[in-house]
Structure 1
């Protein structure tokens, strides 16, 4: 007989679920994780990781197209072979999914294959292929079921002409033109990938600027670079109608002010957000509260049902893998009574967009800081003032820092340019440690590196920039 009694069961093995399960096992809990599809979840299999593999191809293509600038001659036009591009992306995802399986085995976490459903009072039923596959019990149950693409009326994906992120990652052929609806991280990443592959790209955003959660100055620089690459951008624009033909789609765009435009493309990518997977998991048998398709939790990830917790995308924004993982750890450590664990501070969660150029940020934007009542000092340092950026041939970009003028607290940091998704962790550490401008000014940054711009931006906020 299979063991059915556990200290903790995690429903979902995405970046929140599998991390929570491993940490629980490390703390001595008898742990199981229930997963219906892929270990590693959407992020590893159909999101964060495989999209970065595709974007790496786009980066290589971008460099090849500018090889002459580096003294390298490439004979003939750059050609793309779609099959190996997709194959490499899927192999990367498969390799990491297998790695998660190995980590769970190493930590003696029981993996239960199937779909889980809460039965109330610490019990959970599992189905596999529509048939009962067992009942399990645990004192603690963590819901980590993730989220799925949001569907808007009139923009319903059909898997052929109108895509979600999933179809956009494995196209049967490269379209000649696409319309991307939504300019958050997912939308602009796909816009950049397809544009570098030679596709005509139109990017539509209902708000007044692309990357609307980012600092206004940063999103303006990104928009300028995307436009320079040939991406057509419409902000303040709604897609009011889609007319499907045999192998194309004609979209009607409401540009505002009574103006409309139609655009005919091969494919449409809907990237208008996500909603939590709260259906068919037995929440009706509990006191778990759901608002706007997301589970409501307290600071320790507890729901209104005793012994039931929720982490990750199913709990709402920000929808980030590293946020889910951190929630999983703090939730489990609180359950285990670990000393020193503290709730998540969302102001310290970095956000990264792997477009060309990249965008990264942490903390408050300049506008949000002022709206919160802070008197601010703002520092800026452009990539054109950095030797490493110029040597790389990547002189376009900006590092921006926002400080409280009275206390010197680092309120936020915002970047656009090459490799900023790797740089942002420096400011994230600084915020976590509640660092002020004084410590950052006295930190020695290596030369020549892109990170020197982080130092210069801090200095600039106080009128002390050296190289600009």
Structure 2
């Protein structure tokens, strides 16, 4: 079978690329090794984790906050089986949605493991053991990533687990030891902390969410500590062993002292690594970078082999579903001769704890390192009428603007619905708005987004209204 485009992988990058290619009139096939579409994000990542985050937040509020609202509950209990059942139903609805979209756009979805025979021919090993070959003028590699680990830790997927297994636990952990204080670990740690588990976080860097603005990490750690989590930042893990149902994690303190924690589960969340296994890239002359196994691409996301592209987690940049989606659209439109663009500086990052954390653009640390003169304005949610009404008063919005032009250079939020609020900042920065531009735009009252406006007022000439 001859195609205009063959996409390998049906995660957010792959399925979006396939749909956009089909919309542009290209005969398209999408190869997926698993029985359902959606890749890590829909099956064992973004979607199921958010389902559990929402469920656990409801439980936490019922047990900690409802009385304040005049809602009294007797005999509150947790049904883990039902919570996981709901999570699975959410996943099924989303993956089923992609099946519908493929049919609607006349995309041939093929289940199996795809590998290169040559730069235009893909061999597909089917689940039943048979093989199929298809050819395409253009190939898009969108095979995503898998959880990374530490070389001295053996993940048994029972007591020492990755994010994949953490989404399918059938019992409540008593003490979950979390190695890694980044986005994935903190989100899943939050789920089980809210449900009543003791959660201990060991992070090598001196701050959690270390790639984000330091002020966000400091505030998030304060809030999560208040919620019951404990943190060991600046500590180096040296080992993890299992004996029966007990896990022992050893680690070194900043001063060199030896420490250990014992729990019933250990979640290793030290990042992800590009998944390129089985593609037979060597047959078309492609190699991967030693560190992270990334595929090298040019500014058009094309590899050194003409007509072969790569997107998402298998190439450089943040491992984010929405980055992969943007790149999938970018490649599809490039193939037909359009001139799309992606501003990588304006791809937002989000942590779906509660409060949520979201950021776009440059951090203060980056601006200082680049010797950029900037001004800053911030506004706390405790001064937001909407936040006071809902009881979500932790956090703040911080705006960084160019000292001379007032152009917004970075926005950093921690607070209620920050994941949704950050879109306004992205939009403003795409159009190169100044802090004053945003401060003069009407924002509905009372809303959480008024905090962004107030932070812009603070950055413009230090004149926020409500503090």
> Shared fold (TM-score greater than 0.5)?
yes
**1:268-327 CA distance string (max 9 Å, x none):** 001000111112101001232411211111121100111100000111330100000000
CA RMSD across the alignment? 1.1
**1:110-145 CA distance string (max 9 Å, x none):** 111100001123111000137342111111000000
User: Could you tell me whether the CA contact under 8 Å between 2:143 and 2:276 is conserved in 1?
Assistant: yes
Counterparts of residues 19-38 of structure 1 (less than 5 Å):
19-37=16-34, 38=36
Shift of 1:373: 2.0
**What is the distance in 2 between the residues matched to 1:55 and 1:316?**
29
Counterparts of residues 81-96 of structure 1 (less than 5 Å):
81-96=79-94
Which residue in the other structure is 1:240 paired with? Answer: 238
Which residue in the other structure is 2:255 paired with? Answer: 257
**What is the distance in 1 between the residues matched to 2:119 and 2:265?**
47
User: Could you tell me whether the CA contact under 8 Å between 1:82 and 1:174 is conserved in 2?
Assistant: yes
**1:19-62 CA distance string (max 9 Å, x none):** 00000000000000000103011100110001000000111012
Match status 1:55 vs 2:53: yes
Match status 1:274 vs 2:272: yes
Secondary structure of the residue aligned to 1:16 is helix
Which residue in the other structure is 1:70 paired with? Answer: 69
Secondary structure of the residue aligned to 1:413 is strand
Secondary structure of the residue aligned to 2:135 is strand
TM-score by length of 1: 0.97
User: Could you tell me whether the CA contact under 8 Å between 1:12 and 1:146 is conserved in 2?
Assistant: yes
Which residue in the other structure is 1:445 paired with? Answer: 443
User: Could you tell me whether the CA contact under 8 Å between 1:289 and 1:303 is conserved in 2?
Assistant: no
Match status 1:417 vs 2:405: no
**What is the distance in 1 between the residues matched to 2:216 and 2:244?**
40
Which residue in the other structure is 2:304 paired with? Answer: 304
Counterparts of residues 150-229 of structure 1 (less than 5 Å):
150-229=148-227
Counterparts of residues 1-16 of structure 1 (less than 5 Å):
4-16=1-13
User: Could you tell me whether the CA contact under 8 Å between 1:289 and 1:304 is conserved in 2?
Assistant: no
Which residue in the other structure is 2:356 paired with? Answer: 358
**What is the distance in 1 between the residues matched to 2:417 and 2:28?**
38
Which residue in the other structure is 1:456 paired with? Answer: 454
**Ranges in structure 2 where 5+ consecutive residues have no aligned partner:** none
TM-score by length of 2: 0.97
Give the aligned length: 462
**What is the distance in 2 between the residues matched to 1:426 and 1:146?**
28
**1:174-226 CA distance string (max 9 Å, x none):** 11111011111101001111100100110110001001011111110000011
**What is the distance in 1 between the residues matched to 2:200 and 2:13?**
34
**1:388-413 CA distance string (max 9 Å, x none):** 00000111111001111112121110
**What is the distance in 2 between the residues matched to 1:147 and 1:121?**
22
User: Could you tell me whether the CA contact under 8 Å between 2:241 and 2:247 is conserved in 1?
Assistant: yes
